[in-house]
Copies of this chain bind each other. A is one copy, B any other.
């Protein structure tokens, strides 16, 4: 083993693996390929005309606004092209994940040289006109972005927001036993929390049933303006860190191109052989162990091959090479000359033929067809996606003979349904969650798919551990990693569901935002085939987090999601178990959405039999006649709710009101599909104003009890006829260690407060209203005192059921 103790990026190659797999001729070829790729990268950043420098470079050839990142491109290119050799040699099924996605010139140049880019975008042909357009429209208005955006063939990971390359990569190789995800991890990205913990994904990778990730940590040493941590610790620390993460690290360091070719080729080949050997051993023996999978630390200078200094200031090998390395060639003729010399050092004259096509010795180095990494179908997963084999969800429902008279566990039934989904789709569907699947009452799934676990096993595990090397449930206490896995799994053509406590889903606000943006952009990319929806089930909801206190009370994820494009987001709050089943069936069948489903995990009152539930969920919002007393008449009052616990309290409030005012014409409206509330110009699910009026009227007081923050409803309905009549209650950030009743009272969402709200909006009740109001306040105080004394809510609240079925409304 050579000396890899220095932590500098310069000099002849130093590498863990020795060996010289390349002939001198091959080194020369790879160097040409490297030069052509670096040339393309610079061309994208700088040129709008004169793409092959067949004229002297002039300022009018430059783009007016210089954008893009060169810094990480050479190292990424180097990795990509040397992996190509192994794809060809071993007929590997592989694709490339570019962690520092800002270095899109790296992957775009490779796709272009592979010919894939021109196949997908024929106007970016492999000739001088195509090349000019390829350059010009990089990071240019109306063109493609400077990251590995959805427009980039071969990309499932944009990298605009950093930190998710490894979890995406691991997600994509689960259940694809032959796939290798070559994953470039930037050393800036490596400082993020999500990336730092995603290394542990190897504890969930089964060498028999899953493929492999080959992480290449790219120590190019700098972020925007700072050194990176991992580039400035000792070799010992670095080596130990990756051993500690469960990998065998192989080092390739230096900037001398010829020796680096040899070192990288040898190291990548060694790693591929290690991966194949581990897989073969496991598959032949049937014993799934956790080897110390290989990973590579590639240390090269930032902006490798850029001039080391310009005007006496460090450029190559320093942070100044991060983005556009020379920023002012338009105004500084000397810098224009430096740039031209630099670009010409890559020999575009020699490496592109007369027509502007890359010369044959270059294209001879790329794999063919779908073996080209930018053409691998896993990176356009919709191509591979098969619909789930779905059991009939109706069979899992609860029998509801009398609406509001039976209490049942919605979430447990969903668990049984999901169990059968897992069983029917043994290689195509996984359930993800941060250690909460059992707590969330979905543990029935373990009957057919245990929790994947490649860590050590103890004797206790037999006694309720539900662990197995090959399982269908993925649990790690990192919402980031779970979400990243799920995204990778979906984007490569499979299906899944993430379940999480509602309050802590905010941990991945940003990831979900970015996935929404990815999906939205995919809609504009013709060749991208629709992928399965990202399904998020939120439970352990705010209204039952009284005992965990204030930190566990946050239903605001809906606000984050609702800001995203209406083309891709869907939010459902099923009021009971049959509706939950119907909604989830719909979500699992859908594509290209982010579906958020909110449902509490505790036992709840059930309202709709299965047929009614399906009908209601299909409409998304509707009047429930059994809980209304206005049939055939104009209502005095509309009571509405969205959310299971909100519905329970609203119906109890109606019950209270009817005790005092049996003649009252109350209409009850339940909303399952949140976007029904908004105008159809803002979301395709929106009710028309006529439909709105048919439900809510334009002139009746509406008491709307909402699961989440109340102003969301105002934001959705501000344009509606009669919007000034809507009085919304919801969580107002008032909570502590309370009982459910106390928590509701603090936020005025309890039955008493809702009934009082209604009375306050019906002045024509006069004195009777005042008396009823006082009676309700008294009942509230009584219940409150009882709860405080016992430390639990009185049973008549928690076990309250609706007893009036058919009493007032014979037609229902």
Select one of B140, B229, B240 contacting A203, CB under 8 A: B229
Whether A227 touches B453, Cβ cut-off 8 Å, given contacts A242-B244, A563-B709, A788-B141, is: yes
Within A187-214, the residues touching B (CB, 8 Å) are 188-189, 191-198, 200, 203
Select one of B246, B318, B560, B790 contacting A560, CB under 8 A: B560
CB of B141 within 8 A of CB of A787, answer: yes
Q: How far is the CA of A549 from the CA of B517 in the complex (A)?
A: 10
Select one of B141, B146, B453, B563 contacting A559, CB under 8 A: B563
Q: How far is the CA of A188 from the CA of B439 in the complex (A)?
A: 15
Within A228-271, the residues touching B (CB, 8 Å) are 228-229, 231-234, 236-246
Select one of B158, B160, B227, B788 contacting A142, CB under 8 A: B788
Whether A232 touches B140, Cβ cut-off 8 Å, given contacts A549-B160, A565-B733, is: no
CB of B517 within 8 A of CB of A790, answer: no
Q: How far is the CA of A584 from the CA of B496 in the complex (A)?
A: 46
Chain B CB within 10 Å, residue with most, of A163, A435, A439: A435
CB of B718 within 8 A of CB of A456, answer: no
Within A710-725, the residues touching B (CB, 8 Å) are 711-712, 714-716, 718, 723
Chain B CB within 10 Å, residue with most, of A141, A188, A196: A141
Q: Number of A interface residues at 8 Å Cβ cutoff, please give it.
A: 130
Within A157-173, the residues touching B (CB, 8 Å) are 158, 160-163
> Does A478 sit within 8 A of B, measured CB to CB?
yes
Q: How far is the CA of A455 from the CA of B455 in the complex (A)?
A: 33
Within A466-501, the residues touching B (CB, 8 Å) are 466-467, 475-481
Residue of B nearest to A457 (CB): B232
> Does A804 sit within 8 A of B, measured CB to CB?
no
CB of A791 within 8 A of CB of B140, answer: yes
Whether A223 touches B435, Cβ cut-off 8 Å, given contacts A464-B313, A464-B320, A742-B141, is: yes
Residue of B nearest to A455 (CB): B232
CB of A477 within 8 A of CB of B161, answer: no
Q: How far is the CA of A247 from the CA of B7 in the complex (A)?
A: 19
CB of B513 within 8 A of CB of A554, answer: yes
Select one of B317, B435, B714 contacting A188, CB under 8 A: B435
Q: Tell me, rounded to whole Å, the shortest Cβ–Cβ distance linking A696 to chain B.
A: 16
CB of A192 within 8 A of CB of B188, answer: no
> Does A342 sit within 8 A of B, measured CB to CB?
no
Residue of B nearest to A200 (CB): B229
Whether A549 touches B149, Cβ cut-off 8 Å, given contacts A191-B476, A438-B225, A509-B509, is: yes
Q: How far is the CA of A481 from the CA of B200 in the complex (A)?
A: 19
Could you say how many copies of this chain the assembly holds? 2
B residues less than 8 Å from A8 (CB atoms): 458
Q: How far is the CA of A478 from the CA of B227 in the complex (A)?
A: 14
CB of B520 within 8 A of CB of A550, answer: yes
Selecting from A51-59, A63-71, A361-369, A768-776, the interface stretch reads A63-71
Q: Tell me, rounded to whole Å, the shortest Cβ–Cβ distance linking A366 to chain B.
A: 27
Within A733-758, the residues touching B (CB, 8 Å) are 733, 736-739, 742
Whether A477 touches B714, Cβ cut-off 8 Å, given contacts A141-B739, A439-B224, is: no
Q: How far is the CA of A478 from the CA of B229 in the complex (A)?
A: 11
B residues less than 8 Å from A694 (CB atoms): none
Q: How far is the CA of A784 from the CA of B277 in the complex (A)?
A: 58
> Does A430 sit within 8 A of B, measured CB to CB?
no
> Does A615 sit within 8 A of B, measured CB to CB?
no
B residues less than 8 Å from A559 (CB atoms): 556, 559-560, 563
Q: How far is the CA of A787 from the CA of B193 in the complex (A)?
A: 39
Select one of B143, B243, B467, B503 contacting A737, CB under 8 A: B143
> Does A547 sit within 8 A of B, measured CB to CB?
yes
Chain B CB within 10 Å, residue with most, of A160, A464, A709: A160
Q: Tell me, rounded to whole Å, the shortest Cβ–Cβ distance linking A701 to chain B.
A: 15
Whether A317 touches B460, Cβ cut-off 8 Å, given contacts A160-B552, A226-B435, A551-B147, is: yes
Q: Tell me, rounded to whole Å, the shortest Cβ–Cβ distance linking A389 to chain B.
A: 28
B residues less than 8 Å from A143 (CB atoms): 737
CB of B191 within 8 A of CB of A200, answer: yes
Whether A465 touches B227, Cβ cut-off 8 Å, given contacts A456-B232, A791-B140, is: yes
> Does A437 sit within 8 A of B, measured CB to CB?
yes
Binary interface encoding of chain A residues 317-336 relative to chain B, with 1 for a CB under 8 A from any of its CBs, else 0: 11110000000000000000
Q: Tell me, rounded to whole Å, the shortest Cβ–Cβ distance linking A230 to chain B.
A: 9
Select one of B141, B188, B464, B477 contacting A189, CB under 8 A: B477
Q: How far is the CA of A140 from the CA of B317 in the complex (A)?
A: 59
Q: Tell me, rounded to whole Å, the shortest Cβ–Cβ distance linking A8 to chain B.
A: 7
CB of B161 within 8 A of CB of A233, answer: no
Within A500-549, the residues touching B (CB, 8 Å) are 503-504, 506-507, 509-510, 513-514, 517, 520-521, 547-549
> Does A314 sit within 8 A of B, measured CB to CB?
yes
Residue of B nearest to A734 (CB): B565
B residues less than 8 Å from A319 (CB atoms): 464
CB of A161 within 8 A of CB of B737, answer: no
Whether A197 touches B191, Cβ cut-off 8 Å, given contacts A554-B513, A737-B142, is: yes
B residues less than 8 Å from A507 (CB atoms): 161, 163, 192, 510
> Does A667 sit within 8 A of B, measured CB to CB?
no
> Does A123 sit within 8 A of B, measured CB to CB?
no
Within A657-671, the residues touching B (CB, 8 Å) are none
CB of A550 within 8 A of CB of B192, answer: no
> Does A436 sit within 8 A of B, measured CB to CB?
yes
> Does A145 sit within 8 A of B, measured CB to CB?
yes
Select one of B224, B461, B551 contacting A517, CB under 8 A: B551
B residues less than 8 Å from A64 (CB atoms): 790-792
Within A417-470, the residues touching B (CB, 8 Å) are 435-439, 451, 453, 455-458, 460-461, 463-467
Chain B CB within 10 Å, residue with most, of A226, A234, A478, A513: A226
Whether A435 touches B225, Cβ cut-off 8 Å, given contacts A8-B458, A188-B477, A318-B460, is: yes
CB of B463 within 8 A of CB of A313, answer: yes
Within A553-593, the residues touching B (CB, 8 Å) are 554, 556, 559-560, 563-565
B residues less than 8 Å from A451 (CB atoms): 226
B residues less than 8 Å from A742 (CB atoms): 141
Q: Tell me, rounded to whole Å, the shortest Cβ–Cβ distance linking A683 to chain B.
A: 12
Select one of B162, B467, B478, B509 contacting A477, CB under 8 A: B162
Q: Tell me, rounded to whole Å, the shortest Cβ–Cβ distance linking A500 to chain B.
A: 12
Select one of B141, B223, B229, B245 contacting A241, CB under 8 A: B245
Q: Tell me, rounded to whole Å, the shortest Cβ–Cβ distance linking A457 to chain B.
A: 8
CB of B193 within 8 A of CB of A195, answer: yes
Residue of B nearest to A186 (CB): B477
CB of A503 within 8 A of CB of B161, answer: yes
Residue of B nearest to A225 (CB): B438
> Does A144 sit within 8 A of B, measured CB to CB?
yes
Q: How far is the CA of A684 from the CA of B787 in the complex (A)?
A: 32
> Does A289 sit within 8 A of B, measured CB to CB?
no
Q: How far is the CA of A158 from the CA of B563 in the complex (A)?
A: 30
> Does A29 sit within 8 A of B, measured CB to CB?
no
Q: How far is the CA of A393 from the CA of B37 in the complex (A)?
A: 51
B residues less than 8 Å from A320 (CB atoms): 464
Pairs A–B under 8 Å by Cβ, sample size 11: A8-B458, A141-B738, A142-B737, A160-B549, A193-B193, A203-B229, A227-B455, A233-B246, A240-B243, A513-B556, A517-B550
Closest 10 CB pairs of A and B: A241-B244, A160-B551, A193-B193, A232-B455, A196-B197, A145-B549, A240-B244, A506-B510, A196-B196, A191-B477
Given contacts A556-B563, A559-B560, 8 further A-B contacts (CB under 8 A): A139-B547, A161-B507, A225-B435, A225-B475, A233-B246, A559-B563, A560-B560, A714-B718
